[in-house]
């Protein structure tokens, strides 16, 4: 209802095809240099978007007037709004997610990263390999 239709992000349904079309050398994906973080972050976010969309979850994102941005804003079947942040680095601290949580007080947030399942500071950690487990129906139960 409050979507801004002129503000959107585009994702490709096939992350492998996106990687190929971007001419991003595959050997750099395994290289942990900071210069690769932007591209690998975009590929990871694209992978998460594909997984969530496969589970029929509508994808929205949030950006304030400053520098904060939440990768995905999900809505459960009962109308709960859940912010989702995708991280590729070992450092999973997220100023944007913290700011969003403090400002809008959602029931919880989700951080998707290479870390294992967990729950800390009202943020549920979901490993990248388990994104397919997030469904619209279980957002109310997570």
134 lies in some domain: yes
Tally of domains in the chain: 1
CATH of the domain at 117: 3.40.1350
Instruction: List residues bridging with 118 in a β-sheet.
Output: 125
83 lies in some domain: yes
Residue 123: give the domain boundaries: 15-140
Per-residue pLDDT tens digits for 74-107: 999 898 999 999 998 767 778 899 999 999 999 9
20 lies in some domain: yes
Reading the block at residue 60, the tokens are 């929205």
41 lies in some domain: yes
pTM reported for the whole predicted model: 0.84
4 lies in some domain: no
In sequence order, what are the residues at sequence separation of 6 or more whose Cβ sits closer than 8 angstroms to the Cβ of residue 47?
A: 15, 128, 131
5 lies in some domain: no
6 lies in some domain: no
């Amino acid at each position: 209802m409050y979507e801004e239709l002129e503000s959107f992000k585009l994702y490709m349904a096939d992350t492998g095809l996106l990687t190929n079309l971007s001419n991003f050398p595959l050997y750099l994906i395994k290289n942990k240099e900071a210069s690769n973080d932007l591209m690998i972050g975009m590929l990871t976010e694209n992978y998460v978007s594909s997984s969530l969309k496969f589970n029929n979850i509508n994808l929205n994102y949030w950006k304030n007037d400053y520098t904060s941005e939440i990768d995905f804003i999900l809505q459960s079947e009962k109308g709960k709004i859940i912010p989702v942040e995708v991280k590729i680095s070992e450092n999973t601290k997220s100023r944007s997610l913290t700011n969003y949580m403090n400002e809008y007080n959602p029931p919880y947030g989700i951080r998707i990263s290479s870390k294992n399942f967990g729950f800390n500071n009202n943020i549920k950690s979901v490993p990248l390999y388990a994104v397919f487990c997030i469904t619209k129906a279980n957002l109310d139960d997570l």
